[in-house]
Amino acid sequence: MGRIEWSGRVVPFPQDVAAAYRTEGLWGTLPIAAEFRAVAEKHAARNAVVTSDGRLTYAELDEWSDQVAAGMVELGLEPGDRVLFQVTNRLLTVVAWYGVLKAGLIPVCTLAVHRAHEIGTIAERTGAVAHLVESGTRGFDLVAFAEEQRAEHPRLRHLLTIGASPESTGTRIEDLGQHLHPDDAREIVDAIQAEIDPDDVAVFQLSGGTTGVPKVIPRLHAEYWYNARAYAEAWGWDETTRNGHLIPLIHNAGIVCGLHGPHSVGGSLILATPDLSEALPLLAASRVTDVLLGHGHYNAVRLPEFDQLAASLRTVVLSGAKVPLPLFERLEELGVWSGQLFGMGEGFFAVTPLDAPREARLTTVGAGLSPADAFEVLTPGTEEPVADGEVGELCCAGPYTLRGYFDAADHNRGAFTSTGLYRTGDLVSVQTFGADRFLSVEGRLKDVINRGGEKINAEEVEVLLLRHPDIINAAVVAMPDERLGERSCAYLVGRGDPLSLPDVQRHLEGLGVAKFKWPERLEWIDEMPKTAVGKIDKKRLHAQIATRVEDERRALA
Ligand code: AMP
């Protein structure tokens, strides 16, 4: 079995630790595509994926993705090559995902809303050679964009599309491998899979980052599949599970909870889009048993269409923000069990155990997903544990938590404790319920804004703002928002007349920055408030804007 030559850019799990995870029955010995194949053979006739643009059984998905993989090989793509995924929740997205994995290629999980600034940086950092985009996305031509990116970054030589017309530029996933006999395609895939080391990189996820620019997270075959299987087991899933997913699939939660989770046990993914008016009817018609709702979709339960969905629902998993009591009670009224998920692209998940008491389900995110998860809550900046009930930084390690960011040796030195626990940058407290120790999310240390699940790295945006000649100093902070949880507000010190919000947004658009990162409010000040050690006092700015937003809300009410 061959490993890709990473020249030290990927930090492996220590061999004895990996061996122990296998002895304990946590990690398997196969790459992800081979794990998928084993499930597909066992549950061939069951639906693997259902979307508004079609459905595929396991047998159909397995066969089609074999052909796509073989077609990628014909294009000259080689195992270990990186493929940027910039696609939304479509049937072909799932086919392409497994096709890429089957060809031994590494998907890079970028967002459909990323633009030149992000795609350029990520393409360079991961060394991507192919760019998969979707045709017909509302308001923005991703295919034309991919053409521009290809011209800009010569290494990005393959343009792949889904949903494009036959005359369109690039190679259509729909056409790949179609002339091949399924048996021949399978033979090509099997030969590639036999060479993949299960502890090698399977997927690159992007991190919102704790400091500086966003980082790349290498997820490895065995640990990533284990993450998904453990998630499925936590909710008691099996082949009868119909799991609804409506947030972006090509994201860590999408892949682990939406796709690999149900597929690890032969269940179905009912893949909708984030638009509730389209999603709820599809989920209800498919008699979904389980659904994950991010903060941006908490309001779904108040819609009349949700009642119909509730008829088949067993479990709602809530994630991203504190659970409001009325939401929790509404689900109880509908007879639907709700629990919580706290998770990150870097690995660690906490989930509510199925037998947790009501209070714990409402107020905590539960406990580590795996019996082998280890965590400590430390006083920030130290290695001193805080007492249960006190707030500190969550630091963790375990069978699906990264050992290092990709190609980031310097950053990695500060990202882990001396005992190898990953410093999450999240503030939590431990709440005890009898012998159980559950986590409650209390805030964060990291300088990130969580806009409805999309993370905005404040420092990244500040650097871009400072490229405007009339901006002297910039501090981007979170401001509370009822629907999205947080939006970003920029405190700015300027030269001359203050720029308007559209001026600043146009500046960032000109730099090719994804729209969700543009500040949605500006506050012009003469001077940045400083802390005792001379850093910008962001806590104070955050508190100030939170009060201001609340006062404005009251005045309007
Ligand atoms: P991502 O890697 O994009 O999935 O983001 C992970 C981060 O999202 C975590 O480190 C937390 O800061 C935040 N997060 C995830 N789940 C929750 C939750 N249930 N409540 C509050 N914040 C969360």
Task: For residue range 172-213, list pLDDT tens digits in order.
Answer: 999 999 999 999 999 999 999 999 999 999 999 999 765 666
Percent of the chain with pLDDT over 90: 96
CB atoms near residue 197 (< 10 Å): 16
Provide the residue type at 6 as one letter: W
Distance, CA 253 to ligand 1 centroid (Å)? 10
Cβ of residue 321 lying under 6 Å from some atom of ligand 1? yes
Place of tokens 């050679």: 129
Reply yes or no on whether the pLDDT at 2 is more than 90. no
The DSSP 8-state label assigned to residue 90 in this structure reads -
Q: Is the distance from the beta carbon of residue 487 to the nearest atom of ligand 1 less than 6 Å?
A: no
Listed in sequence order, the DSSP H helices in 325-456 are 325-333, 358-363, 409-415
- Alpha-carbon distance of 318 to 345, in angstroms, equals 17
Q: How far apart are the first and last CA of the chain?
A: 65
Encode 3-14: b = buried (16+ Cβ within 10 Å), e = exposed: ebeeeebbbbbe
Say if domain 448-556 classifies as CATH 1.20.1070.10. Answer: no
424 lines ligand 1 (CB under 6 A): yes
Strands 485-494, 422-433: parallel, antiparallel or unpaired by DSSP?
A: unpaired
Average pLDDT over residues 307-324: 96
Backbone torsions φ then ψ of 13, nearest 5 degrees: -70, 145
Compute the distance between CA of residue 23 and CA of residue 399 in angstroms, rounded to an integer: 12
SS (H, E, C) 507-526: HHHHCCCCHHHCCCEEEECC
**Distance between CA 339 and CA 323 in Å, rounded?**
10
Structure confidence at residue 557 as a pLDDT band (50, 70, 90): confident
Say how far apart CA 250 and CA 279 lie, in whole Å. 17
Both tokens assigned to 269: 């993914």
Q: Percent of the chain, pLDDT > 70? A: 99
Residue whose Cα lies nearest atom 10 of ligand 1: it is: 344
Q: Is 426 in the pocket of ligand 1 (CB under 6 A)?
A: yes
Token pair 């714990």 in the structure block, residue: 360
Does 346-446 carry CATH code 2.30.38.10? Answer: yes
Q: pTM for the whole thing?
A: 0.96
CA of 290 to the centre of ligand 1 (A): 20
- Atom index in ligand 1 nearest the CA of residue 448 equals 12
**With bands split at pLDDT 50, 70 and 90, how would you rate the model's confidence at 383?**
very high
**Mean pLDDT for all residues in the chain:** 96
| Neighbouring residues of 373: CB distance < 8 A, sequence distance ≥ 6 | 348, 396, 397, 398, 399, 401
- Judge if the beta carbon of residue 441 lies within 6 A of ligand 1: yes
| CB of 218 shorter than 6 A to ligand 1 | no
Query: What is the best residue among 342, 363, 442 to mutate for testing ligand 1's pocket, by most ligand atoms within 8 Å of CB?
Result: 342
Domain coordinates in residue numbering, the chain: 15-274, 346-446, 448-556
pLDDT digits (tens, 9 = 90+) for 509-542: 999 999 999 999 999 999 999 998 899 999 999 9
Res 271 pLDDT > 90: yes
CATH entry 3.40.50.12780 includes domain 15-274: yes
CB neighbours of residue 305 within 10 Å: 15
Three-state DSSP state, 252:
helix
